[in-house]
Structure 1
Amino acid sequence: MSNVDLILPLLVAVPILMATVPIALGLRFDRTGWGVTTLTTTGLLAATAYLASAVYSEGMVTHELGGWPREFGIQLVADEFSTLIALLVIATATAVLAYMRVGGPRGNTFYAGYLLLTGGLLGLSLTGDVFNMFVFLEIVGLATYALIASGDGPESAVSALKYLILGTVGASLYLIGVGFIFMATGTLNMQVLSEIMPEVLAQGGQNLVLMQAAFAFIFVGFALKVAQWPLHTWQPDAYQHAPDGVTPVIAALVSTAYAYALGRLMYTVFGPEFLTSTPYLTEIVVTVGCLSVLAGSTLAVIQTDVKRMFAYSSVAQFGLVVAAFGLVTETALIGGIIHLLGHAVIKAGLFAAAGVIAVSYGARTVDEYAGLADNRPFVAGGTALLLIALIGIPPSAGFIGKWYIAVGSVQAEMWPVAAVILLSTMLTLAYSARLLEKMYFTPATPVESPHPSGPVATDGGHEGGDGDDAHGSEHGDESAGNVGASAFTDAGRIGRGNPDAVSFGMLALVIVAAIVAVLLGFAGGELYDLLDPFATEVFNE
């Protein structure tokens, strides 16, 4: 494993370089994007797993690009925290391709953007430099914008533009904060900054003020990118109007990577001592997180569109992670990371399930889920397990993260956070119960369909797998089945739904995500042990 550090630059460079291949091959061949992307992500998954085995057995792995000293050059870092996020990114990116094989979107240019997003997310996870974190933030933002805009309807374009504008504002605020950091310390390397911070705190004066200003800009920038209330307005539109094949990726990975970056900066760059010694800082961070939990959960309860409901749910769940970071205890930090991981798996499965149901059953609103369990028992069962995990019923990924955060809030003597966790769990139960009741206890009734009956529109003009002409295109808008019809026959639902448009891979993604969400609940202790070296090092510096 002496050359294991060479994997780090390859994980970032390979997907970015391979993003050009589908476009180049597309000049001659029509159906190359999915295959190239699958081969690339599968190879990256194997390389990341090999890297993880080295990190969790031997400790941190670093690589200085070009051999430059870390103070002046670019450093990539794989530790217990970043490696876990990198594994999440590449595993999810690979798994969602099983959905996209038939479910779409398709096209060589789409898969070029998909690989670019994957490379940006891996770079964001592994970078050890605060300025290069900005570079990867921009790569992720632009790629996400393109994927959201790949839907067929005007709503997708408007949502993508809104995401682009607000995302640029967030990145700009972050960059201002980076400028203040450089003014105060003269370096951009995270590990060097962590070594300098105790001296800055001891000396006080102008440099400390600059670091406090830097944190303010960085936190507000990431609060926008992580969709914290009231800066969350871009996320529900983006999740709702993005193509169904895209939403699982951006919901599971993009905001998760942003939340990781915030946690990395708070604990590696600024450090626990800075967080606790700065007046009102932890109180502000915890308050922002708790308000997002309550606002997101409340807004999710009143939604009728399922994807929009899950989007507001994400606002709440990321608020819980931010609050955990603000508690500044080892248990809460590890709990926040575990919750970040579990939420990514749950939301990938739930949004994939929403896409499958929209394609096969023609349903996109809560009321249209009536009778789903009778007509689509497997996808309904997977959705039910994922909703149970989202609520936090043990054993599940949702429970173990909340448990550690609640324990951390007690250790920090911030009892209101524990109360917010309980209240948010009740609100999550409220909107999840609506879907469960519709799926399992409300019979499907004949309703006049507002749209012409018929199969899902075909997508013969796009690149895809075998049998593209026989399968429907589901791009997440009205022209491709965004509005589900509500007509029924004795044989089941008809209208815009088309059961033949659902592949085994699409259904398998939902089932596997549900199983993993449950298994993560049993693996809570093992995850805690994996992350404990990182937390111990952070709090003992």
Structure 2
Amino acid sequence: MSSVDLLPALLIVAPIVAATLPIALGLRYDRTGWAVAAVTTTGLFAAAVALASEVYTAGQVIHRLGGYPRTYGIELVADQFSMLIVLLVTGVAAGVLAYTRRGGPRGNTFYSAYLLLVGGLLGISLTGDVFNLFVFLEITSLATYALVASGDGAESAVAALKYLILGTVAASMYLTGVAFVFMATGTLNMIELTSAIPAAERPILIRAGLGFMIVGFATKVAQWPVHTWQPNAYQQAPDGATPLIAALVSSASAYAFGRLIVTVFEVDYLAATANAAPIVLAIGCVSVLAGTTLAVIQTDVKRMLAYSSVSQFGLIVAAYGVVIAGSSETALIGAAIHLVGHGLLKAGLFLAVGLVAVSYGARTVDEYAGLATERPVVAGSMAVLLFALVGIPPSVGFVGKWYIALGAVESQLWPVAAVIVLSTMLTLAYAARLLEKMYFTHPPSIESIPSPEPVATDGGDATAPDGASPDAVSIGMVSIVVVAALAAVALGFAGGAIADLLAPFLTEVFN
């Protein structure tokens, strides 16, 4: 076994083991969590790059724990699809730390949950077993509950409890589906299930399992109407935790849902299953429209971006529906690119939102008035990220939507293409509100601020509430937002290269 073959296991085990260090070292030293997290995530990103280099040049890397046969053992698989998510997880996890170094939270327990979350996300990305997918989903969920609850006030605890209840229901639904599939096939390995599912003697169990899994992932991916946990979780989580949660948690679940469709059940089997494609298409398209509509009417910026995520993930689920209905390679490429692009965009946007909140105490759209004057670099980066979210070329947001829309047109699914166009206009509506406030609205003058209650404005630290001050922002906090904006444009130019990297995986799926 070569050293590269060990990297999939190392990527999962290292952050989970490292998660114990901040608490252990905290018994003797204060605030060691950030340093442990920084060293661990930097190493993980380097290992992910090394593994990706091997996968994209020599093909997939498979690690069998204990050397047991895949029918009974645990298998980790790094292929062209999964490595996109591994790179996203490790890159965002390392990048967000540039914000938390100054912006917080700083407690050791926070960074233990942070690393545990990273380990769970990497497990979701690399597992080749449907039961262990459940295990890693639960590790991810437990860590996310802790991160959301670490915010200030009772609202954070309530948001975490709501997420826990809905997350537990979703996980139970998925596990029930796994049980039905196992009863019908006798195996849990994804590759084994590829051939075992079509040959199953009790197809009713397979269809029941598929139904439970769809409902479970619809909740995990925050699809309407089972999306209600997400806005509260994003809004009430600490500003240093929201970028990680928003960029990665539902993204990993959306990837896992796609993995089940193209690897476990396979496109041909699902295409022959009555109502499978219409159900997935309906879930995705309704979520796209509901999410953008709800985002337009929000006044709190974090909630607006949270509902935006409902819409963006709906677009990915709709792309999966196009893959099933039309056996569309183009739509699957679009789903993969949009999955990575959305994770990057939301990480950058929530980092920028946290930066503005720390420096000026601004939380609502109206409080962003004049931000371009006070912080032109941050406002400019947010503008780039918002344009990418809308889908303005040459951003990564445009490339993902283009491939999905093209796949829908090729498959003659015209309503899906219409939904994409309509959602783009609605996305422009709420993005334009924020841009208009930042660039074309002046902040209220100090004389106009009522007394004695302080009001959050963008005019200086004298009026910033809750101890917010422009001096609280570090160069690292600004730099990571700028890097996210530049990466959003760079990935837009790299859309064709990403499609080429996915070519071997697509050949395996569709041939």
Task: Check whether TM > 0.5.
Answer: yes
Match of 2:274 in 1: 279
Give 1:312's aligned amino acid. Answer: Y
**Cα distance, 1:152 vs structure 2:** 1.4
Match of 1:22 in 2: 22
Give 2:501's aligned amino acid. Answer: L
Q: Deviations over 1:170-191 (max 9, x none)?
A: 0000000000110010000001
Match of 1:311 in 2: 306
Provide the secondary structure at the position in 1 that maps to 2:193: helix
2:219 paired with 1:218: no
Q: Deviations over 1:187-234 (max 9, x none)?
A: 00001111223433xxxxx52111111110000000001000000000
Match of 2:488 in 1: 517
Task: Map residues 152-167 of structure 1 onto 2, 5 A cutoff.
Answer: 152-167=152-167
Tell me if structure 2 keeps the 8 A contact 1:113–1:143: yes
2:229 paired with 1:234: yes
Match of 2:192 in 1: 192
Give 1:341's aligned amino acid. Answer: V
Match of 1:85 in 2: 85
Partners of 2:144 and 2:332 in 1: how far apart? Answer: 28
**Cα distance, 1:487 vs structure 2:** 7.9
Tell me if structure 2 keeps the 8 A contact 1:229–1:315: yes
Tell me if structure 1 keeps the 8 A contact 2:55–2:80: yes
Tell me if structure 1 keeps the 8 A contact 2:443–2:457: no
Q: Deviations over 1:352-397 (max 9, x none)?
A: 0000111112211001111110111111011000000000000001
Tell me if structure 2 keeps the 8 A contact 1:305–1:366: yes
Change (3 A) 1:302 1:330: same
Match of 1:472 in 2: none
Task: Map residues 318-329 of structure 1 onto 2, 5 A cutoff.
Answer: 318-328=313-323, 329=328
Provide the secondary structure at the position in 1 that maps to 2:62: strand
**Cα distance, 1:312 vs structure 2:** 0.2
Match of 1:110 in 2: 110
Task: Map residues 431-510 of structure 1 onto 2, 5 A cutoff.
Answer: 431-446=430-445, 447-448=448-449, 453=454, 485-486=456-457, 488=459, 494-496=464-466, 497-510=468-481
Deviates more, 1:443-452 or 1:179-188: 443-452
TM-score (norm 2): 0.97
Tell me if structure 2 keeps the 8 A contact 1:75–1:129: yes
Provide the secondary structure at the position in 1 that maps to 2:266: helix
Match of 1:535 in 2: 506
Provide the secondary structure at the position in 2 that maps to 1:63: strand
Tell me if structure 1 keeps the 8 A contact 2:368–2:457: no
Task: Give the ranges of 4+ consecutive aligned residues of structure 1 lying more than 6 Å apart after TM superposition.
Answer: none
Match of 1:356 in 2: 355
State the percentage of identical aligned residues: 66
**Cα distance, 1:486 vs structure 2:** 3.6
Partners of 2:451 and 2:501 in 1: how far apart? Answer: 53
Match of 2:182 in 1: 182
Partners of 1:448 and 1:207 in 2: how far apart? Answer: 70
Change (3 A) 1:158 1:450: farther
Tell me if structure 2 keeps the 8 A contact 1:452–1:495: no
Task: Map residues 64-75 of structure 1 onto 2, 5 A cutoff.
Answer: 64-75=64-75
Partners of 1:524 and 1:10 in 2: how far apart? Answer: 29
Partners of 1:421 and 1:67 in 2: how far apart? Answer: 46
Change (3 A) 1:452 1:64: same
Partners of 2:451 and 2:221 in 1: how far apart? Answer: 36
**Cα distance, 1:410 vs structure 2:** 1.1
Tell me if structure 2 keeps the 8 A contact 1:22–1:109: yes
Provide the secondary structure at the position in 2 that maps to 1:75: strand
2:336 paired with 1:337: yes
Q: Deviations over 1:515-536 (max 9, x none)?
A: 0011111000001111121122
Q: Deviations over 1:448-468 (max 9, x none)?
A: 358755xxxxxxxxxxxxxxx
Provide the secondary structure at the position in 2 that maps to 1:64: strand
TM-score (norm 1): 0.91
Partners of 2:313 and 2:46 in 1: how far apart? Answer: 29
2:388 paired with 1:389: yes
Give 1:526's aligned amino acid. Answer: A
Tell me if structure 1 keeps the 8 A contact 2:374–2:459: no
Change (3 A) 1:450 1:340: farther
**Cα distance, 1:31 vs structure 2:** 2.3
Give 1:295's aligned amino acid. Answer: A
Match of 2:405 in 1: 406
2:260 paired with 1:289: no
Higher relative contact order (CA 8 A, sep 6+): 1
Tell me if structure 1 keeps the 8 A contact 2:360–2:457: no
Change (3 A) 1:219 1:86: same
Q: Deviations over 1:255-293 (max 9, x none)?
A: 000000000011100000111101111011011100000
Match of 1:474 in 2: none
Give 1:380's aligned amino acid. Answer: A
Partners of 1:317 and 1:97 in 2: how far apart? Answer: 25
Tell me if structure 2 keeps the 8 A contact 1:33–1:111: yes
Give 2:361's aligned amino acid. Answer: G
Q: Root-mean-square deviation (CA), in Å?
A: 1.4
Match of 2:204 in 1: 209
**Cα distance, 1:411 vs structure 2:** 1.6
Match of 1:419 in 2: 418
**Cα distance, 1:3 vs structure 2:** 2.9
**Cα distance, 1:165 vs structure 2:** 0.7
**Cα distance, 1:493 vs structure 2:** 5.4
**Cα distance, 1:2 vs structure 2:** 3.3
Give 2:224's aligned amino acid. Answer: W
Provide the secondary structure at the position in 2 that maps to 1:533: helix
Partners of 1:326 and 1:120 in 2: how far apart? Answer: 27
Change (3 A) 1:256 1:450: farther
Change (3 A) 1:166 1:441: same
Partners of 1:106 and 1:449 in 2: how far apart? Answer: 34
Give 1:299's aligned amino acid. Answer: L
Change (3 A) 1:4 1:449: farther
